[in-house]
Structure 1
Amino acid sequence: MSLFGVQRGSGESIWDIKRHYGVVSAQLHRDYRVSTNLLQTVLSGFFDSIGLYDAPSRHQLNIAREWLLLLGLENKEQLAFSQLSYGEQRLVLIARAVVKLPLVLILDEPCQGLDNKNREKVLALVDYIAERSNTHMLFVSHDVRDVLKCITHHLTFSKGAEGYMATATARA
């Protein structure tokens, strides 16, 4: 088995694998409780860490600031992550996941717990990322309101007589 073009078991570390993907999930949101500001939170995505423990380069700082500008949070970069609204926190965590331009972005229920306004912001951001990057996305949702223009394939799990079955469909 190979993962990101590397034969598994060839001595790669978890960090070698993690650099190829970004993740946003409700669990990550719950676990991101370190004392960091917005800029540090986005920058931590370059290092796959919860919190910022390495010194970012000038280039990384510029990229992180561009993401905060895109989110409309450029004037809050020194604000504590914990002081943002729940919806703003989720947007920042998405920026954190994509700041390094991963090959794969895994979005596990990214709209869970959000009101309609923030749900729309998250979905718009995901479509924006899909339209402007080469990142492949795995978007997991149980909510029919989570509709994205960028989705090309759906995998639906349903319970049949012999257990759960998966049905794949491509959008026309």
Structure 2
Amino acid sequence: MTASLAMLPALALPALVIVAAVKDVTSFRIPNWISLALAAAFVPAALIAALPPATLGLHLGVGVAALIVGMGLFALRWIGGGDAKLFAAAALWLGWPALTTFLLATALAGGALSLAILGMRNPALRPMVLMGPRWVMRLAEPEEGIPYGVAIAVGALAAFPHSPFLAVL
């Protein structure tokens, strides 16, 4: 029972990025509570994983750097505010060892997602898309953005096995 309880904080990252992706794709919003919960769950997960102080500091540094980059991307209107916060919270969890995988997988997933949504917005395919659920129809609207939280979630899930938290599971 105790081992099962120790696993719970380590499962926060995969669970919450999936919730964020679903919320973003269906509503174009990532609620603040998701990023806050990720940041808050990092502390007990780091304690349970017994991260050394230097590793903990590196994770914090990566998270702060990701927040600064995310704020810059938000200022350029390339991503939304929720995406920037989710990106930083996931980077906090993943730290330096998994950062390259996180960035590469997020970029590739973002490109694939963008191409898929642009395809949905193609005038030839749009009539078929408009027969779907309301959230799918909204994805096909040309003036809408790209729910980049999906790409961030894919990147975080791809990088999670390279993080120190998988050893706890």
Q: Scaled by the length of structure 2, what TM-score is found?
A: 0.34
Bigger relative contact order (CA 8 A; separation at least 6): 2
Q: Scaled by the length of structure 1, what TM-score is found?
A: 0.33
Higher strand share: 1
Higher helix share: 2
